[in-house]
Amino acid sequence: MNDIKPVLLNSKLFHNLLPDELDQLLATENIILKTYKKNQFIVYAGEKITSIGLVISGHVLVTKENVLGERIIMSALSKGHLFGEIGAFSDKEVWPATVIAQDEVCICFINKAIFFVGCVNNCKSHRKIIFNMLNIISNKAMLLSRKVEYLSFKSVRSKIAAFLLDEYKKTKSLTLSLTINRNELADFLNVTRPSLSRELAHMKMDNLIDYHKYTIKILDLEALSLL
C-alpha cells in the first residue's frame, strides 16, 4: 500500500489528509487494489455496487449504452480520478455505468461503508473524506449538467468548441493533451467519427486550431469562444 500513498494523497478524495491520517484508513479492510489489462471490463452497469474506484495508474473509460445499443462515453479518467461515487450513494445501489480499461490500469477500490460507518473515535480523517466526497459529488453533478449542454448544441463545430474551451479552462493551457482518441471523442460528443474528423479539418483550415494525434492546440481562443 505504501506505493499508492502519493497518488491517494494527491487525489480529491483524500485532499488535506496528513500521511498519518491516511495510514489510519489504509489500516482498515475497506481498501483493496486490483489490476486490469487493456480493454478489460472493470465493472458492468447494473452490477451491485459496494465500493467506489480510484485510478492509481493508467486510463479508463466510463461508458453507457443508449436505447439503440450505441455506446456513449461519459468520461475518460486517469490517475487520481474516482468513478462510481454517484451510484454508491443512490437508492438503487448499482453501478450506473460500465468502466473499461484503456490500457493496463491499477484501481483502488474503497468500500462505501467507510463513509457511513466512519470509526468509533470519530477521527478527523473520516470527517475529511466525507466532506471531500460531498464536494466531489457536487462537482460531478455540475459536470453532468455540462455534458447535457454539449448534447444541446446543434452543430458539430459548436460541440467541439465547447469541449475545447472547457479543457482550456481546466488546464489554463492552449495546448491540450487529450486522454481519449478520435473515436472516443466522437462518442463523448455524440457525433459520428467522420463528422468529427471533417469538422476538425475545417477548423484547422480556418486557423482556429491545429492538431496532431492526441494533441490539439487552440490558435484563436477569442474566435472559438464566439462559436
pLDDT, one tens digit per residue, over 165-187 is: 999 998 899 999 987 888 888 88
Q: Is the dihedral of CA 109, 86, 9, 147 positive or negative?
A: positive
Per-domain residue ranges of the chain: 2-143, 153-225
pLDDT under 70: residue ranges of the chain: 1-2, 117-123
pLDDT of res. 2: 59
What pTM does this model have?
0.70
pLDDT of res. 213: 85
**CA–CA separation, 39 and 99 (whole Å):** 10
**CA–CA separation, 47 and 114 (whole Å):** 20
CA dihedral 102, 107, 113, 117 (to 10 degrees): -140
**CB count in 10 Å sphere of residue 99:** 24
CATH of domain 2-143: 2.60.120.10
CATH of domain 153-225: 1.10.10.10
Beta bridge partners of residue 72, listed in sequence order: 64
pLDDT of res. 224: 92
Q: Residue 193 belongs to what H/E stretch?
A: helix 193-205
Cβ neighbours of residue 201 under 8 Å, at least 6 residues apart? Answer: none
Cβ neighbours of residue 44 under 8 Å, at least 6 residues apart? Answer: 95, 98
pLDDT of res. 122: 55
Task: Please determine whether the domains at 2-143 and 153-225 fall in the same fold group of CATH.
Answer: no
Task: Give the DSSP letter of residue 45.
Answer: T
**CA–CA separation, 146 and 128 (whole Å):** 27
**CA–CA separation, 140 and 142 (whole Å):** 5
